[in-house]
């Protein structure tokens, strides 16, 4: 079994390095290798970096990094300077030419990923992204899982719910401002006399949300379930749904419903595990993207 797993991982590595062009002499039709591109990426996103910090970020041999920096310096892409607080330390930042070279590499990288995704249907794209997210979370897991909690909302939380729904679903699914406005209307209608909201935290950061709102005298509705990508895999989605169900039962509701879309695969798994069943579905459009609207429900 162990040998078979090792063989499968190695086969995936060979396949994916070919897909992303690692074996080519230069990445994205440029004269720079993948490692050199990563150096440009880290420096660009940090504005400037101490070389020891850069070596730690990329886990590179000091001699290898020195040769890469020498080449980038020779091509006029980086500027080296001594630290103002410690002359023994060298800082690196991008030159104007370096910023332009990085922007070109970054654009070409996005275009290549877009072409890769365009080959797949919507459900295939979701499966691919979910699988990649799972691989990353397993191999880059922190030594200790952050402490998590589910709490009532505090000042600033409701605006955070609107902002994160708008930004996250635009990034992951292409939904636009109309969706964010829909979320804003739901949040604006939040009535503490009848409704409830919970915020999930992982460590000290907000990591998710869910609302339980009154639909009629006997029916509650679960709304605005969200879990941040950085907190997925911690079980927060299931705990938020459980909190919503517990509250609805305590308030005397007989039934609870929810609206979702079939592209939200992880959320649908949580709903199914909590006993929800699909009632109906119909085609719709969000920001020019075709979506499949679904209504789910369960008795309490």
Question: Would you list the domain boundaries of the chain?
Answer: 2-119, 148-299
CB distance 300 to 255 below 8 Å = yes
Instruction: Convert the pLDDT of each residue in 188-241 to its tens digit.
Output: 999 988 899 999 999 889 999 999 999 999 999 999 999 998 888 889 999 999
pLDDT value at position 22? 57
Query: CA 213 to CA 206: how far, in whole Å?
Result: 21
Mean pLDDT (whole number) for 275-285: 95
**pLDDT band at 46; cut points 50, 70, 90:** confident
Q: pTM for the complete prediction?
A: 0.55
pLDDT value at position 163? 96
**pLDDT band at 27; cut points 50, 70, 90:** low
Residue burial 167-202, b: 16+ Cβ < 10 Å; e: rest: eebeeebebeeebbeebbebbeebeeeebbbbbbbb
12 vs 271, residue with greater confidence: 271
DSSP state of 146: P
Query: CA 42 to CA 52: how far, in whole Å?
Result: 13
Mean pLDDT (whole number) for 263-282: 93
Q: Please tell me the CATH code under which domain 148-299 is placed.
A: 3.40.630.30
CB distance 214 to 195 below 8 Å = yes
Mean pLDDT (whole number) for 132-161: 84
Mean pLDDT (whole number) for 29-53: 81
Q: Is the pLDDT of residue 137 over 60?
A: yes
Query: CA 82 to CA 91: how far, in whole Å?
Result: 6
Average pLDDT, rounded, for the chain:
88
pLDDT value at position 10? 87
CB distance 272 to 237 below 8 Å = no
Instruction: Convert the pLDDT of each residue in 240-272 to its tens digit.
Output: 999 999 999 999 999 999 999 998 988 999 999
Q: Where are the alpha helices (DSSP H) in the chain?
A: 2-19, 34-46, 51-58, 62-74, 96-118, 122-139, 157-173, 177-188, 236-250, 265-273
Question: Would you tell me which CATH number, out of the four given (3.40.50.300, 1.10.10.10, 3.40.50.800, 1.10.3720.10), belongs to the domain 2-119?
Answer: 1.10.10.10
């Amino acid at each position: 079994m162990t040998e078979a797993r090792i063989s499968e991982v190695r086969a995936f590595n060979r396949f994916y390095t070919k897909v992303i062009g690692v074996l080519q002499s230069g990445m994205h039709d440029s004269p720079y290798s993948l490692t050199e591109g990563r150096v440009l990426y880290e420096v660009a996103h940090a504005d400037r970096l101490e070389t020891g910090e850069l070596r730690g970020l990329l886990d590179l041999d000091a001699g290898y990094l020195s040769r890469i920096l020498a080449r980038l310096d020779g091509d006029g892409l980086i500027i080296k300077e001594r630290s103002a607080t410690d002359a023994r330390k060298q800082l690196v930042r991008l030159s104007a030419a370096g910023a332009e070279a990085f922007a070109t590499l970054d654009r070409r990288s996005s275009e290549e990923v877009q072409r890769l995704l365009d080959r797949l249907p919507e459900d295939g794209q979701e499966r691919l992204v979910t699988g990649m997210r799972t691989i990353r979370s397993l191999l880059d897991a922190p030594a200790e899982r952050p402490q998590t909690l589910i709490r009532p909302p505090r000042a600033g939380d409701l605006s955070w719910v609107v902002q994160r729904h708008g930004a996250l679903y635009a990034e992951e699914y292409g939904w636009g401002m109309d969706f964010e406005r829909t979320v804003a209307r739901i949040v604006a209608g939040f009535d503490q006399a009848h409704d409830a909201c919970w915020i999930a935290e992982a460590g000290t950061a907000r990591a998710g949300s869910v609302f339980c709102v009154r639909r009629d005298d006997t029916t509650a509705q679960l709304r605005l379930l969200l879990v941040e990508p950085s907190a997925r895999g911690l079980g927060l989605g299931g705990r938020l749904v459980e909190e919503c169900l517990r509250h609805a039962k305590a308030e005397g509701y007989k039934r609870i419903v929810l609206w979702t879309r079939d592209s939200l695969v992880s959320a649908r798994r949580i709903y199914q595990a909590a006993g929800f069943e699909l009632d109906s579905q119909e085609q719709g459009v969000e920001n020019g993207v075709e979506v499949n609207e679904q209504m789910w429900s369960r008795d309490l």
